[in-house]
């Protein structure tokens, strides 16, 4: 759809495209909402997918870079509307399974390569030196698994958990009891 403007209405969303057209989505049309975000060297990237009843592909609301407060307000407001109807049953966190395992796969390959090196290449090394490459790579594989678990798409327990996955909090954290 390209550049769009999204408004939160009393019972859903209203989306208008840059070249015209208007799409109204009622909360009763929404089957599932999944929100996630990540940050990398290019800045933060936010993605919310909205599955509608009877539609296979989700609508995607994206925002890149800073200035994400309006995006977060719309998605969080929609979540509040959905929870008023039937709790958090239609709210999920994470972006996709493939995004969740994006770091795990190379770390697992690294671990398997290091295991192969430890067992077959370092045959003439002392016994205590052979497992070192595999142990170091195992740590990276564990980190990859932890990141995959954190990013894996799944239902949320409460509205606060969903809101944390929409975008980071704009409030500054307190530093060990000191007022700022």
- In whole angstroms, give the CA distance from residue 179 to residue 66: 26
What residues does each domain of the chain span? Answer: 4-93+156-166, 99-143
CB atoms within 10 A of CB 13: 23
pTM of the predicted model as reported, rounded to 2 decimal places: 0.79
CB atoms within 10 A of CB 51: 18
Question: pLDDT digits over 101-141, tens only?
Answer: 999 999 999 999 999 999 888 888 888 888 999 999 999 99
4-93+156-166 carries CATH number 2.30.29.30: yes
Q: Strands across the sheet with 22-26, in order? A: 4-9, 12-17, 22-26
- In whole angstroms, give the CA distance from residue 167 to residue 47: 9
Token readout for 58 is 């989700």
Average pLDDT score, the chain: 90
């Amino acid at each position: 759809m390209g550049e769009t403007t999204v408004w939160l209405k009393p019972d859903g969303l209203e989306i208008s495209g840059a070249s015209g057209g208007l799409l109204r989505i009622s909360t009763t049309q929404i089957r599932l909402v999944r929100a996630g975000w990540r940050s990398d060297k290019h800045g933060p990237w936010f993605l919310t997918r909205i599955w509608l009843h009877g539609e296979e592909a989700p609508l995607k609301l994206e925002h890149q870079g800073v200035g994400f407060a309006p995006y977060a307000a719309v998605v969080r407001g929609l979540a509040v509307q959905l929870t008023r109807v039937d709790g958090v049953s239609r709210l999920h966190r994470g972006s996709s399974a493939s995004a969740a395992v994006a770091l795990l796969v190379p770390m697992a390959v690294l671990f398997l390569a290091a295991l192969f090196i430890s067992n077959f290449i370092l045959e003439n090394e002392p016994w205590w030196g052979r497992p070192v490459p595999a142990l170091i790579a195992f740590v990276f594989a564990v980190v990859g698994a932890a990141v995959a678990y954190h990013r894996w798409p799944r239902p949320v327990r409460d509205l606060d958990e969903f809101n944390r996955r929409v975008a980071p909090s704009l409030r500054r954290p307190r530093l060990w009891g000191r007022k700022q």
